[in-house]
Structure 1
Amino acid sequence: MRNAERQRLESQRSGTENWRLWGPYLSERAWGTVREDYSPHGTAWEDFSHDQARSRAYRWSEDGLGGISDDQQRLCFALALWNGRDPILKERAFGLTGNEGNRGEDVKEFYFHRDATPSHSWLRYLYKYPQAEFPYGRLVFENRMRGRTDPPFGLLDSGVFDGGRSWDVEVTYAKAGPNEIHIRIEAANRGPDPATLHLLPTLWFRNTWSWSDDGERPKLRAIAPPTGAAWAIRAEHPELGAYHLYGASPVELLFTENESNAERLWGIPNATPHVKDSVHRRVIQGEAGAVNPALEGTKAAPWYVLDVPAGEARFIDLVLSAAPLAEPFARTAAVLAARSREADAFYNALLPDADAEDKPILRQALAGMIWCKQFFHYDVERWLAGDRLPPPDSRKGGRSRSWKHLKSSDVISMPDSWEYPWFAAWDLAYHCGALALVDVDFAKDQIEVLLSERFLHPNGQIPAYEWAFGDVNPPVHAMAALKVFRAERVQRGEGDTHFLHRVFHKLLLNYAWWVNRKDADGHNVFEGGFLGLDNISVFDRSQPLPAGYSLKQADATGWMAMFALNMVVMALELAAEDPDYEDIAIQIYQQFLSIANAIGGHAPGAVSLWDDADGFFKDLIVCPDGKVSRVDVYSMVGLIPLFATEVVDRRLLERVPRFRRMLTAHKGGKFQGSYVCACPDWENERGEHLLALVDHTMLPRILQRLLDRDQFLSDYGIRSVSRIHAEHRHLGDLPGVGQALIEYVPGESNSGLFGGNSNWRGPVWMPVNYTLVQSIEKFHRFLGDAYRVPVPCLGGRELTLKEIATLIADRLVSLYRTDDTGQRPVYCTQPRFHEDPHWRDLLLFYEYFHADTGQGLGAAHQTGWTGLLANLVMRRYRTDIPDYWKERSGGEVVDA
C-alpha cells in the first residue's frame, strides 16, 4: 500500500489538492542576475549588488534564507538573523560575483538542504551562522588578491567558526494541508559561551505594484491573535487571497514596505519613510521611526531575542495558514511528528535495503533537488522595453534581443539556488532523471516547460540559460523525455503516450534546428560551439575559426547521433498505438545512419572522426583547401559518441514491419555500401536490436583507455580529460589555430577560457559519467554476460559490461561514502566535516570533483545534476526495490 506522501502526489496528479502551491521556490540570491540588470553594458553582477539588495526592491523575483513562497511568489517567508555584531541584518546568502572572486561566482556561506518530500509536506533547512562578525570585507579582499592558481578563500578559512562559535539555525516546514504550514525554527548555540541571537522570521509580498500604474498593492496588518497565539498578521493579496501568520510567543512586530530606499541608493527622497531596509535599521541601528507604528505594510517581521546557554537550543513555532485558525498551535507537535514519520516511510520505501552509508546520500541528494525548485519570472519583451523608465539604447542590440517571445512565470528545477538561480537547459534535462525517482509528474512538467511556446524559439532552438539564451547546450532533452516516460511506465505499469506525443512534436522542431543550423556543410558532422563542455578544447569553440576553416566535433556529432536514436525510439513507442509514426521513425533512423556514415568518413568529402590507429574519436579541423588535421586530444569529447546507444526490443519491432525491413536492408551495418555502425539486424536471444555508433569491436578499444588509471579512470569516476595529457600537452601547430596545448587539470581551472567555476579539463563531472554508465549498461543489455572485456586497472582481468558499469558507478558514489579513515573524499580539504560532530553528517553536492582527490569543486550547492548520485545509489539496490519500481515494460532497458 502506498504511503501518505505518495497519496499526496496522487492527489496532486488528479487535481484534487494542490500540494505544489507552496514550496521552496525562494532563491538564495536574486541580485546580480540578468533579469535585474538594467545597466547599459550588461554588467549584471555590478548593476544590482549584494550591498544594494537589502535596500532595493527586486523587479522579477525575491530571495531569502531557507525561504518558501507560493508558486507565483506573491507571498514570501524566510529567515532573517543578527548575531549582535554584524553590520547588516542577515537576510540573504552572501557571495562573490564573477568579477570579485578568483574562481567566478562563489557563495561564501554554509547552508544545507537537510530533508524534503516532493509535495513539500516536509522541508528542513540548516544555516550555519557565525557568532563573530561575518567577514564580508575580508572575503572580498582575500579573493581579489588571489590568482587563478590559488585556492579560493572561504568562510572556514577566515576562522569565524573556530572554537565552534556558531549558531545552527534550522527551519522545518510541515504542511497540515496544501495551504496550512506549521513552522519550527530552532537555534542551537554550538559555542562554549552563552550567546544572543536576534531571530526575525519575515513575511513579505513580492513588489508587483511599482512597475505599472494598475498594480494593486497587497497588505499585511496586525490582527487580534486567537487562542494560544501571542500575535497574528493577516496578509491580503488580490490574487492569492488571505493568509495568516501566527506566533506562539509575545514579541515586537516590525512592519514596513517592500519599497526601494531611494535616498540610500540614489540620493533622492523616499516616497514613504518605511522602506525595504527599515527592519535592518530598526534592529541594528536602533531607528524606532524606521518601521511603521500603525503595524501595517508589505513586509513584516516578529523580533525574537534568544539568549541561549552554551550547548543548548531554543525554538519558536509559527503557523502560516490561508484559513483563519481558532487554535493555530493545537496540533503543531502532531503535524511535525506525522510529517517526519511520513518522510521516513517515503524514503524507506524507495530504498528499503540500502545500508547506512547510502540512505543519507540518496535522501540528501533528493532533498537538494527538491529545495532547488525555484520560481523563475522573466518576460523578455517587457524587460527589453523597460518598465517605468526607458532602458539604455544599448539594450536593443544586447542579450536576449532575439528571444522576445520568452515569457516565464514558472517553478523550474535550477542547478543551484544561489550560484545559478536560473534554469540551464541541459542541466534541467539531467535533473529530470533524478526528480523522476520521487515525482515523475513534476519531471514531466519540467520537460514540457522548455518545449512550450513560451520558451522554445520559433526556429526550434531550446534556450540555453538566462545569461545567453542563444548559446548551445547539448541536445539531451529527448534523452530526458524518454527517460521520464520509461520511469513512469516502470512505476505505474503504463507510459503516458499523450506526454510522449506532445514532446515528440516539439522535439522535432529542435531536431530540425540542429540539422539545419549546426551542420553547415550538410555532411552530418556537427559544429556545436559551447556544447556545455566549456573549456575542454584547445581553443574557444564558441568563437569562429578564420575564414574557410571549420571544426568537425566528435562530441557535437555524438550528441546528435544520440538525439536521433532517442527520437527513433520515441517514434517507435508512438507507432505502437499510431502506425503513422513508423514513417518518422524510418526517416530519423536514416538520418542517424547518415551521421554514422559521416563520422566514419564514408560520406563524400568526409574524414572519419574515429582514429583507428588510436581507437578513439577526435575532432577535425578542415582547411580551406579541403585538407584535414586531426586534433589529438583524449577527452570526454571523444567518449560522447558512446552515448548514441539504444536497445530496441521485440515489443516495439512487432508493430513496425517497414522499420524491421529497413534494419534487414542494412544487414551487416551497411549504409550506402559502407559499414557504418553496430549491426542493426543482429538480434540477441531476446529478439532485441542494438542501434549504436560504436560497435562491439570498437568498444573494447575505447574501454582500454577508459579503464586505465593512467588515462581516464580515477578512483572517483571518469576524468573529463585523460591523465595522459599531464605529460603530452603540446599538440603542435593546428591549422587556423596555431600552437595548440591541452593540459590535464584535475581540479580548478587554470585557464580563463570558460574558467571560473566550470573546469572540464580533467575533473570528474556527474552528468556525463552517469550517461556513460547508462550507455555501457545498454551495451550489456544487448551483448549479455558472455561479452567480457579485459580491464587494465584490474591487471587485465575480464569483466562483463555490467560489472564495468558498476565499477564506474561505485567510484562516483564513493565520493560521498566514508573511507577507511572515516572521511568523505568530497571533503578531503575541509577537516571540520570529519572532526566536528555538528558538521559530520552534512552533505554539499558540488558542481564537479577533483579527479585525483575527490574534492568537491565549483558551485557548492549544485545538487542539480550531481543529484544523479541518487540514481546511482538506486542502481546498486534496484533488484530489491518495491514492486512499483520493478520492470513491467516488456523487456526494454530499465534504469534508475
Structure 2
Amino acid sequence: MTAEHQRLAVNAGKSVPLAQWGPYLSERQWGTVREDYSQNGDAWHYFPFDHANCRVFSWGEDGLAGISDFFGNLCFGISLWNGKDPILKERLFGLSNPQGNHGEDVKELYFHLDNLPTHYYMEYLYKYPQQEFPYEKLREENRNRGKLDPEYEILDSGAFDNNQYFDVLVTYAKQSAQDIFIKIDVTNRYSKPAEMTLLPTLWCYNRWRDGTFKEKPSIRQHNKTTVKIDHERLGEYYFYYQSADKTFFTENETNTQVVTNTPNTSIFTKDAFNHAIIKGENVDELTKKKDGTKFSPVYKMKVAAGATKTIYCRLNTTLTEKPFAPGFKDVFKVRKKEADDFYAVILPKGMSEDMAQIQRQALSGVLWSKQYYHFDVEEWLSSSDGISPVSNSKMTGRNNDWKHLKNQDIIMMPDKWEYPWYAAWDLAFQCISMAVVDPVFAKHQLLLVMREWYMKPDGQLPAYEWNFSDVNPPVQAWAAMQVYNIEKKQTGNGDIKFLKKVFQKLLINFTWWINRKDVNGNNIFEGGFLGLDNIGVFNRSFHFPGEVQLEQADGTSWMGTYALDMMEMAIEIAMNDISFEDTATKFFEHFVLIAESLNQHGLWNEEDRFYYDVLCVSGADPVPLRIQSVVGITALYAVSTINKKALDHLTDFKKRITWFENYRKKHAKYWPNEERSDDGEILMSLIPKDKLVDMLKRLLDEDGFLSPGGIRALSKYHDQNPYSVTVDGNIYSIRYDPGDATSDMFGGNSNWRGPVWMPINFLIIQSIKKYGEFYGDSLTVEYPTGSGVQMNLEQVAEHLTKRVISLFERSKDGERRLHGDYGWFYKQPGNEHLVAFYEYFHGDSGRGLGASHQTGWTALVAELISEYGERKENTKRELL
C-alpha cells in the first residue's frame, strides 16, 4: 500500500472524506449568480472582472494557483507583476459572456500538472507574459468578431512570441495535514534577463461584515519572517516566508471609492497592494502596518535568461524557530516520489510516456477542480451585499423556488474558471474519473447532490446555479454503477451500502421525472434543455403558446436508460439483500413500457430508420423533427445484461419478468429487445437488433456522425442538408456547425451542432462495447460505413476509443490535434508535455473549443486510455 493509499484509508473513516487543506480556492468568483445582487439578474455586469481586485466577495474567494481550508476561511495564492501591467496578476482574466464572441472564455495559459487526492503534493503552472498583459486587446478583438469568426486567444496577441514570458510553477508539499510547504519557481523563458515582482499572498475570507464571526480574524507580524494568524474557526496558524524586500499588510475590505464612488474610511483596502506596487501609493503605510486580514511579503527579482529563482513559504499550526531547517527541501522530493508511486499503482502498466502523462494530467485536473462552494438561496434572496439594497424583484426572479438549497461543501467543479459552480450531470461524469483516484470521495459527491439541502423536496436535482430548475439528463444511477464497479475492481469488494443510499434517493428523483416530465402519462418524456444547449432547432425548454408539446426522443431514451440502470442497481443489491428484489421488477416493467413508447408512439421514423423528437400541435398531425443528432442516438445508452447467476438467485424476479413477457406477447403488446445467450445471459435494450444495425450505419458514416476524433453531436449530413421547421408562423433552422456556436441560444457559449463531446462519446463507446460483449462475432457491421471492412462491436468500440484518444496524443511531428493552430507553442522545449482539456472538439479538425480546463467530463479520456490499454494487454496475452 502506497503512502497516499494509507492517507486515503484514514480519510475514508471521516464523515467527509476530505483533507482540511486543498485546492479549494475558486479560479473565478466574480460574474457568478451568487455574487449577483442586482434587480435584473445581470450577474456579469453586476460584479465584473474590473471589480474583483477591489471589491469584497459575499460567498467565497478566488485567486491564482491557490489553496484554502475546506471552509475557505484562510486563503493563499500568488500575485505577480511584470513591471508593465495596469493591475497585479492576482486572478485569471477572461471575458464575460456578453464580451466574448462565443460566450465567456478564460484568456490565460495555465496547467494543473499534478495532484494527489489528499493534496499532499500539487503542481500548478502559470505562464505570465513579460510584455503588458493584453487585457484591452483581448476585449476589443473579440468584441469586433462575430459568431462565424474564431475566438481571439492570448496566443494570437503576440504576448508569448519569442518566448518572452515567465513560467511560474507553484508546488505544494505537505509535511502533515496542517503543515504545508510552498515552492514558487519563477523561470525566465526569454533570451534576455527580465524583472518580476512576486507577492505570495495570504488573506482571510471576509465573514465579519455580516456578523458571522464574533471576532475579526487577524494576521499579525510575529518576527521578520513569520506572521501569526488568529482565527476563531481555524485557531492559530503561522505563515513563514524567506527574507523579503518588503512586507505589506492591508484589510480584505471593499474600496468604496472605486466601486460606489463613496470615500474610503481607510487606505487599507483589498486592492492596496495593487496601488502600492504599480503606483507607489501608501508604500510606507502598508510596510509600517503590522496586522490586517491580508498579507504579502514582496520579492523583487531579476531573472537571467533561462534561469530560475525560487521562493519558499510554509503554513502550519506550530511555532518553530527554524521553519526552513537544513534538508527541508526533501519534503518536495519525498511527496513527488509518493505521487509517482500512487499513479504507478492505479494506472495501467505498459502505457507510453505520452499516454501516461495525458492520464495523469487529466486526473490531476479533476483533483484541482475541487472548490469550496457556498450558496444559501434563501439568504441570498432576502439579504444585501452591502452595496445594493434588498431587491423585491429577486424574490420572484432566478431560483426563487429553491429556498431550501443551502450548500456549503467542497464540490468538484466542471471548470473552476468557466464553470465555478457544480452541474448535476457534469458532476456524475466527474465522479467516474474521481473514482479512479479516490472512490470514497467520488461516492461522497454523488450522494451529496442528492442530500436534502440539494435535492428539492419533490425530488428534482439542482441543475446549475444560473437556473437550478433546468433539467439535466438523469445519469446519476448510471454513474453510481460505474463508480461502484471501478471500486469493486480495485478492491475486490462492492460497496452495497453506498448503492442502497443512492438507490433510495434516486427512487424519489425517478418519481419526480415520472410525475413532472411525462405530461400525458404515456411514457414519452419531455425534459426540455437536458444539458444539450442548442442541440435542437429551437430552445427545447421554451413553451410555445397554445397547445404545443415537444415529445423528446432523448428525454424518453434517458428515462429508459434510467429505468434499466435502476434495475441493474436493484439486482446488484438484491444479490446481497433479497428485500430489493421487488424493486428490480418494478424498474424492469418501467423499462418495458418506456421501450414500447419510444418504438411505437411516433418517435421512431421508419423511413429514416432513426429516432426523432416529435412536435405535437393541437388539431394537426405530429411533426417529426428530422434532425440527425445525438437526440436520436441516446437510445443506444439503454443496454444491460442480466447474468444467469442473478436469475437463478432472484427467483421471484425471474418468475415475474417471465410472466410479464408471456402476458404482453399473448396480448400482442410490444416487447423490447431481449436476447438470450447460450450460457443463459439476457440482453435488454431499447433498440431491436435490426434498428441497431441501421443506426450504427449512420453513426459510423464519416460523411455523417463519425469524425476523425469521435462521434459528432450533429451529423455532417446537415452541412449540405440544413433542416427548418415553421412553428406559430416562425421559421427555425439548424445546420452542421463543426466548431463554435453560430447561434446565441443559451448565451452562445457552447455548441451541440457538430462538435465532438467527451461525455457522449464515452457513453456511446461503453454501450457499443456492452452490445459487443454479448453478440461477439455473431453481429458485425461496416466500419467505417462504406469501407467494406466488417468488424464486431467490441472492435468498433475500440476503434472509436482510438479516435477520441487521437485528439490528445502527440503525433510524429510533435503536435496534438486539440491544440489546433497553436501547435507551434506546444512544440517548444518545455511545453511538449502540456495538455489542455477542452469542453468539446471541432467536428472536422479536432481542435479544442469552449472551456479549456473542463477536466470534469473531458477527463474521462483517462478512463478510455486505461480501458484501451487493458484490451491491448489482454489481446497480447491471448496471442502468447
The TM-score by the shorter chain falls in which range?
over 0.9
1:527 is displaced (CA, Å) by 0.6
Q: Which residue of 2 aligns with 1:369?
A: 366
Q: Does 1:141 align with 2:140?
A: yes
Counterpart of 1:721 in structure 2: which amino acid? L
CA contact under 8 A between 1:203 and 1:301: conserved in structure 2?
Answer: yes
Q: Does 1:621 align with 2:615?
A: yes
Moved more, 320-329 or 75-84: 320-329
The match for 1:717 among 710, 719, 731 is 710
Q: Which residue of 2 aligns with 1:257?
A: 251
CA contact under 8 A between 2:814 and 2:832: conserved in structure 1?
Answer: no
Provide the secondary structure at the position in 1 that maps to 2:836. Answer: coil
Moved more, 644-653 or 539-548: 644-653
Q: Which residue of 2 aligns with 1:890?
A: none
1:781 is displaced (CA, Å) by 2.2
Query: In the superposition, relative to structure 1, how do residues 17 and 411 fare at CA in structure 2: closer, same or farther (>3 Å)?
Result: closer
Structure 1 CA distance for aligned equivalents of residues 557 and 212 of structure 2? 52
The match for 1:860 among 847, 852, 863 is 852
CA contact under 8 A between 1:19 and 1:178: conserved in structure 2?
Answer: no
Query: In the superposition, relative to structure 1, how do residues 692 and 771 fare at CA in structure 2: closer, same or farther (>3 Å)?
Result: same
1:793 is displaced (CA, Å) by 4.3
Provide the secondary structure at the position in 2 that maps to 1:574. Answer: helix
Within-5 A mapping of 1:574-589: 574-589=573-588
Counterpart of 1:848 in structure 2: which amino acid? Y
Q: Which residue of 2 aligns with 1:308?
A: 303
The match for 2:286 among 291, 296, 309 is 291
1:580 is displaced (CA, Å) by 2.2
Q: Does 1:837 align with 2:829?
A: yes
Query: In the superposition, relative to structure 1, how do residues 329 and 565 fare at CA in structure 2: closer, same or farther (>3 Å)?
Result: same
Q: Which residue of 2 aligns with 1:893?
A: none
Q: Which residue of 2 aligns with 1:116?
A: 115
Structure 2 CA distance for aligned equivalents of residues 558 and 643 of structure 1? 8
Provide the secondary structure at the position in 2 that maps to 1:490. Answer: helix
1:555 is displaced (CA, Å) by 0.6
Q: Which residue of 2 aligns with 1:325?
A: 320
Structure 1 residue ranges without an equivalent (≥5): 226-230, 602-606, 887-896
Structure 2 CA distance for aligned equivalents of residues 52 and 699 of structure 1? 54
Q: Which residue of 2 aligns with 1:891?
A: none
Q: Does 1:391 align with 2:390?
A: yes
Structure 2 CA distance for aligned equivalents of residues 418 and 511 of structure 1? 32
Query: In the superposition, relative to structure 1, how do residues 660 and 130 fare at CA in structure 2: closer, same or farther (>3 Å)?
Result: same
Q: Which residue of 2 aligns with 1:281?
A: 275
Q: Which residue of 1 aligns with 2:518?
A: 519
Q: Which residue of 2 aligns with 1:270?
A: 264
Query: In the superposition, relative to structure 1, how do residues 37 and 727 fare at CA in structure 2: closer, same or farther (>3 Å)?
Result: same
Structure 2 residue ranges without an equivalent (≥5): none
CA contact under 8 A between 2:535 and 2:629: conserved in structure 1?
Answer: yes
Query: In the superposition, relative to structure 1, how do residues 17 and 856 fare at CA in structure 2: closer, same or farther (>3 Å)?
Result: closer
Structure 2 CA distance for aligned equivalents of residues 757 and 878 of structure 1? 36
Moved more, 70-79 or 625-634: 625-634
Within-5 A mapping of 1:221-240: 221-224=220-223, 231-240=225-234
Q: Which residue of 2 aligns with 1:531?
A: 530
1:862 is displaced (CA, Å) by 1.0
CA contact under 8 A between 1:434 and 1:871: conserved in structure 2?
Answer: yes
How large is the Cα RMSD of the aligned pairs? 2.0
Q: Does 1:29 align with 2:32?
A: no
Structure 1 CA distance for aligned equivalents of residues 6 and 550 of structure 2? 52
* TM-score, normalization by structure 1: 0.94
Within-5 A mapping of 1:451-490: 451-490=450-489
1:640 is displaced (CA, Å) by 0.2
Within-5 A mapping of 1:38-53: 38-53=37-52
Structure 2 CA distance for aligned equivalents of residues 668 and 729 of structure 1? 45
CA contact under 8 A between 2:76 and 2:200: conserved in structure 1?
Answer: yes
Structure 2 CA distance for aligned equivalents of residues 12 and 65 of structure 1? 27
Structure 2 CA distance for aligned equivalents of residues 717 and 161 of structure 1? 32
Structure 2 CA distance for aligned equivalents of residues 848 and 265 of structure 1? 37
1:199 is displaced (CA, Å) by 0.3
Q: Which residue of 1 aligns with 2:339?
A: 343
Structure 1 CA distance for aligned equivalents of residues 177 and 16 of structure 2? 7
Q: Deviations along 1:105-137, whole A, 9 cap, x unmatched?
A: 011111111111111111100111010111111
1:677 is displaced (CA, Å) by 5.0
CA contact under 8 A between 2:458 and 2:508: conserved in structure 1?
Answer: yes
Q: Which residue of 2 aligns with 1:334?
A: 330
1:589 is displaced (CA, Å) by 1.5
Moved more, 492-501 or 445-454: 492-501
Structure 1 CA distance for aligned equivalents of residues 557 and 16 of structure 2? 43
Structure 1 CA distance for aligned equivalents of residues 727 and 161 of structure 2? 55
Counterpart of 2:295 in structure 1: which amino acid? A
Structure 1 CA distance for aligned equivalents of residues 774 and 425 of structure 2? 28
Query: In the superposition, relative to structure 1, how do residues 72 and 699 fare at CA in structure 2: closer, same or farther (>3 Å)?
Result: same
Query: In the superposition, relative to structure 1, how do residues 668 and 185 fare at CA in structure 2: closer, same or farther (>3 Å)?
Result: farther
Q: Deviations along 1:819-842, whole A, 9 cap, x unmatched?
A: 243211101211333432233221
Q: Does 1:640 align with 2:634?
A: yes
Q: Deviations along 1:338-369, whole A, 9 cap, x unmatched?
A: 11111111112222211122101101101111
Question: Which structure has the highest helix share of the two?
Answer: 2
1:31 is displaced (CA, Å) by 0.5
CA contact under 8 A between 1:34 and 1:467: conserved in structure 2?
Answer: yes
Q: Which residue of 1 aligns with 2:130?
A: 131
Q: Which residue of 1 aligns with 2:791?
A: 799
Counterpart of 2:131 in structure 1: which amino acid? A
Q: Which residue of 2 aligns with 1:381?
A: 378
The match for 2:839 among 840, 847, 850 is 847
CA contact under 8 A between 2:201 and 2:294: conserved in structure 1?
Answer: yes
Query: In the superposition, relative to structure 1, how do residues 134 and 429 fare at CA in structure 2: closer, same or farther (>3 Å)?
Result: same
Provide the secondary structure at the position in 2 that maps to 1:104. Answer: coil
Structure 2 CA distance for aligned equivalents of residues 794 and 611 of structure 1? 23
Q: Which residue of 1 aligns with 2:106?
A: 107
Structure 1 CA distance for aligned equivalents of residues 432 and 672 of structure 2? 27
Query: In the superposition, relative to structure 1, how do residues 71 and 746 fare at CA in structure 2: closer, same or farther (>3 Å)?
Result: same
Q: Which residue of 1 aligns with 2:55?
A: 56
The match for 1:684 among 671, 677, 683 is 677
Provide the secondary structure at the position in 1 that maps to 2:777. Answer: coil
CA contact under 8 A between 2:704 and 2:715: conserved in structure 1?
Answer: yes
1:695 is displaced (CA, Å) by 2.5
Structure 2 CA distance for aligned equivalents of residues 217 and 201 of structure 1? 22
User: How many residues get paired?
Assistant: 870
Provide the secondary structure at the position in 2 that maps to 1:332. Answer: coil
Query: In the superposition, relative to structure 1, how do residues 191 and 336 fare at CA in structure 2: closer, same or farther (>3 Å)?
Result: same
Query: In the superposition, relative to structure 1, how do residues 837 and 211 fare at CA in structure 2: closer, same or farther (>3 Å)?
Result: same
Moved more, 620-629 or 23-32: 620-629
1:546 is displaced (CA, Å) by 3.4
CA contact under 8 A between 1:844 and 1:861: conserved in structure 2?
Answer: yes
1:867 is displaced (CA, Å) by 0.5
* TM-score, normalization by structure 2: 0.96
Q: Which residue of 2 aligns with 1:611?
A: 605
1:785 is displaced (CA, Å) by 3.4
Provide the secondary structure at the position in 2 that maps to 1:89. Answer: coil
Provide the secondary structure at the position in 2 that maps to 1:317. Answer: strand
Moved more, 48-57 or 241-250: 241-250
